[in-house]
Chain A
Amino acid sequence: MLEQKEHKFDILGRDYDIKNIGKVTGEEKYSCDINIPGQLHAVILRSPYAHAEIKEVDYTEAEKMGAICIGPQDVPDVIYNERIVSIPAKTYRDRTVFPKDKVRHVGEAIAACAAETEGKAFEALKKIKVIWGEKWEPLVTLDDAMSPDAPAIYDNVFLGEERVKISNNLACDRNIDVGDIEEGFKEADIIADETFDVQRVYHMQLETKSAVCQPEADGGITLWTTTQGIHNVRILLGQIFSIPLSRINVKRITLGGSFGSSIQMNSVTPICVALALKARKPVKLVTTREEDMYDHSSYPLKTRLKVGVKKDGTLTAAHCQVWLEIGGHNIQAYPYLGCVAGWFASLYRWKNLRYEGKAYYSNKGPACARRGYGSPQVNFPVENMIDILAEKLGMDPIEFRRKNYVGKGEEFWGQGPTVRSLIRSCGVEEMLDRGAELIEWDKKSELKNKNGKIKRGIGVARGFHTSGTGGPKAGEVIDYSGATVKINEDGSVDVITALMDHGGGTWEAGAKVAAEVLKVPFEKVSIDNGVDTRTTVFDVNTHATRGVYCGCGAIKYVAEKVKEMLLNYAATLFEDRPENLVLALNEELGQGIIYPIDLPEKYKTIAEIADHARINSVGTFVYTSTLRQKNCPPCFITYFTEVEVNTETGEISVPRVVMMGDSGTIINPELWKGQILGAYALGIGLGKLEDIPYNKESGKLNCNGLITDFKVPITTDMPHTDNITVEHAHTYEPTGPFGAKGIGEAALSAVASSFGNAVYDAVGIRFHKLPITPEVMLKALQDKNRIGGKNKDAH
């Protein structure tokens, strides 16, 4: 069962506490911490209307106060999509830096001012006159947006270079058929047909979006900004402002969390650039929490799922229909619909499937990627459905999953229908077994308190995410990473990469991979900031859980080339052949050493060899290249959640949880756990707390930009530390760097699903809509009592 061979590592799999020091001393710099002497501070004028025509933006009076101002008339006409991860032919473009004709959501930026202080900039902002034309009622729900007589949010947009007409606010759609579902449903003994709603949530990364831009004398710019991909920001700014990329330098800088919200170039970035170019002075722009809440969120997903199954538990067909309400811009609904199809298709062997996805514009802040990219949203319907069918079949939910999951040797759709690869490592069985043992699944019924006010239950759910977006053939999504690895003259190593670290430990993993290849102590490898688009080669973006598998994959590939150079040169010193040399880590010396095989006492340190190369004017051992991974292995997870439902207050707590993850080789053990633990909190937020509704009349956020009204999980929402178990499967991914694959997004995929299944186990109510707040629970309990306490559904 266990795939993990005996792999021994010198550095991988150890925890070091030397990274992150700047984050505990306050010295770490984020974009918002950058200050440039003489900088101006910028603020943004945002639309109070959800859908209104802009006739004119007049900032004459504001400029009289000494501010530098920009409005729609000042920004280029370039229509772009802020996310350029998909190939251009599959990228919808519908926006300019400021809208030229009308605003499409409350909080949309329409003008900006920069002045010596933020206070002065605000004073100036108040003087801007906006003349509004026609206004339309806000479309804030999916039903509003789909309604045949809804006002049109767009008439047309671009898909690649082609202009496409938008009808009925339908932004895009995707339909996929595999096999013959009609035949499949005919074979079925049992058919279930259910509808689920997973809500829109706000990322609530702790750092709000910001940018600092310094215009350079040569007409170029230097930029610090919140982003998951410095190269894509540079390319976009080049396109928008017609500046050669060699004159745009985007600095790589630490992110205060992202969870997908900076895959696209953040909306403040080009505004800050436009101001700096006009002012010819550095400009700093930091958004408030309220502004940030209008700027991005996850996609809410409505799903109708119909599944057929035979009496023996074999699945025969599935029909999955999904509807998205995407907000005022189409950042990535098309690839998202593809990915939702992929997650759905790769969870279980449906045999025959049909998928129909539709995305509608609405007058809300634009939705974008959020950790899991649709996986938690479609996992909830599927994992509920699996429990529903198991109950109908009289089968144990674990058994039913074991019988039907997609595993080793089968196909995984890592990024929608066009990016698929074969599964080569899979810990699903091990995780189901071990998780069941840890949570004591067989004693589950003993937990139940039949009469008291507290009801207990346990739920299981499994999920996954892709590791990167590479397939055997390049698909709709661009995927490659680059790195430079360089041995310094003292034997230490620099790793130079555009890979981002959102806090999950990607940089630490990259340094470890280079250290492992070159047998250099971890402490001697730097992957630190101070690099930028000018010094790094292209990296598509740190998204799609590709940091370790793709980004560190590239680092490994490049480090191996450097190792070859090093050994070739060492061979000349030893007067031997490179293949007769051994490269090893000598912990006592704190150095990597090289020696002729069987003659360890004759070693030379890497430092000696590198310095020898310097003194003899041989050169530096350095290599730069890019690598495209040709697979997208799934990292699987399986979670077991125990809940306690207080039937008097409607509150649900989580006293215990067991979380199993399959990432192949684990590079950063504690940070790996941290990914799972952090995701669990996000999932509990999704399950019972978070929601971000808009007011139907005003089109404004109901929470008014307040975090406490939006409701994120806090310390008291998580189980006691002793009651949280996190373990990993013993797998090895043959295509990954040293057997590793990802974890970040996988970790969130099944949290809310295991929570929902546990709630059903506790109270016998199947919740089809999230979040399950105390009010929702109380109402459902009352309804259930009214029908005599039988199991029921809550929509």
Chain B
Amino acid sequence: MRKIPIKFTINGQQKEALVQSNELLINLLRDELYLTGTKYGCGIGECGACTVFVDDELVLACLTLAVTVDGKEITTIEGLAKGKELHPMQVSFLKNAAVQCGFCTPGMIMTAISLMKENPDPSEEEIREYMRGNICRCTGYTQIIKAIKEYAHNMKA
């Protein structure tokens, strides 16, 4: 199959790649760029583990064709911390024991950050509604919700 050249920015760095027309973003990230923080949980948009930002918009990397990120800016979980300094949402997750096995965590954090951009002061119901698509099998969500609430609270202060 013919490969298509694409250019994009990933976590602040310019990159080029040759991709097949049917190649998925999740595979480009995980198998070619070795950004394995983006997780495969289902491959069909049901779990949220592969959530990343493309031009500040939340997308599921398992449902996104790699060719569509041409000219765009991608942020994955690896792009959140500034050097050693963690993103405050990452800190909030750690502080609230919102991380157990950690497999859902990257997708959870990306989605939570997106929620904060759209709605900096959400009610608990709004948080729960927004995070519906992200499955966690370990935590029962409570500490995740608390982490997001605490983050919102700290941002307000």
Contacts and interface: CB of A to CB of B under 8 A. Distances in A.
Interface of A: 15, 17-18, 20-30, 32-33, 35, 119, 203-208, 254-259, 286, 288-289, 502-505, 670-671, 673-674, 677-682, 706-708, 712-716, 718, 720-721, 724
Contacts of B120: none
A724 B139 CA distance: 13
A295 to B, nearest CB: 15
B141 A206 contact: no
Contact of A712 (B36, B102, B133, B135): B135
B102 to A, nearest CB: 3
27 contacts: A17-B95, A18-B94, A21-B86, A21-B94, A23-B99, A25-B80, A26-B35, A26-B38, A29-B36, A206-B47, A259-B137, A289-B47, A502-B100, A503-B138, A504-B100, A505-B100, A671-B100, A674-B138, A674-B140, A678-B137, A681-B137, A715-B145, A718-B128, A718-B141, A721-B145, A721-B146, A721-B149
Given A25-B90, A206-B47, A254-B101, 5 more contacts: A21-B94, A25-B78, A26-B36, A208-B41, A677-B139
A206 B41 contact: yes
Interface string B46-59: 11010000000000
A674 B46 contact: no
Interface of B: 20, 30-31, 34-44, 46-47, 49, 76-78, 80-81, 86, 90-91, 93-97, 99-106, 109, 124, 127-129, 131-146, 149
Nearest to B46: A707
B24 to A, nearest CB: 11
A242 to B, nearest CB: 33
A20 B99 contact: yes
Ordered nearest first, which 3 A-B pairs have the shortest CB separation?
A26-B37, A23-B102, A503-B101
A361 B40 CA distance: 32
A503 B90 contact: no
A678 B135 contact: no
B142 A724 contact: yes
A598 to B, nearest CB: 40
A289 B43 contact: yes
Nearest to B30: A33
Contacts of A32: 36, 40
Given A25-B81, A678-B138, A207 B39 contact: yes
B86 A206 contact: no
B96 to A, nearest CB: 7
A25 B102 contact: no
A18 to B, nearest CB: 8
B141 A681 contact: yes
B41 A25 contact: no
Contact of A24 (B40, B43, B44, B86): B86
Contacts of A255: 101
A504 B99 CA distance: 9
Contact of A25 (B30, B40, B86): B86
> Could you tell me the dominant secondary structure of chain B's interface residues?
loop
Contacts of B76: 26
A499 to B, nearest CB: 15
Given A24-B90, A255-B101, A721 B124 contact: yes
Contacts of A706: 44, 46
A33 B36 CA distance: 6
A205 B136 CA distance: 9
A30 B86 contact: no
B99 A24 contact: yes
B135 A714 contact: yes
B97 A670 contact: yes
Contacts of A259: 137
A15 B135 CA distance: 25
A574 B52 CA distance: 59
Central interface residue in A23, A35, A682, by most chain B CB within 10 Å? A23
A680 B94 contact: no
Contacts of B81: 25
A20 B102 contact: yes
Nearest to B110: A26
A584 B136 CA distance: 41
A29 B102 CA distance: 10
Contact of A23 (B43, B105, B144): B105
Contacts of B136: 206, 678
Nearest to B129: A716
Contacts of B44: 289, 706
Contact of A677 (B78, B86, B104, B140): B140
B137 A712 contact: yes
A712 B140 CA distance: 11
Nearest to B35: A26
Residue among B35, B78, B128, B149 with max Cβ neighbours from chain A (10 Å): B128
Given A21-B94, A503-B138, A254 B102 contact: yes
B143 A674 contact: yes
Contact of B137 (A505, A673, A674, A682): A682
A257 B77 contact: no
Contacts of B39: 206-207, 256
Given A206-B47, A257-B137, A28 B41 contact: no
A378 to B, nearest CB: 23
Nearest to B81: A25
A18 B99 CA distance: 12
A697 B17 CA distance: 47
A739 B19 CA distance: 57
Contacts of A15: 97
Contact of A206 (B101, B140, B145): B101
Nearest to B131: A715
Nearest to A30: B103
A286 B149 CA distance: 35
Contacts of A679: 140
B119 to A, nearest CB: 15
A21 B109 CA distance: 13
A677 B145 CA distance: 12
B37 A27 contact: yes
Candidate in B30, B131, B138 with the most chain A CB atoms within 10 angstroms: B138
A207 B101 contact: yes
B146 to A, nearest CB: 6
Nearest to A719: B142
B145 A678 contact: no
B100 A678 contact: yes
A679 B141 CA distance: 11
Contacts of B93: 24
B135 A206 contact: yes
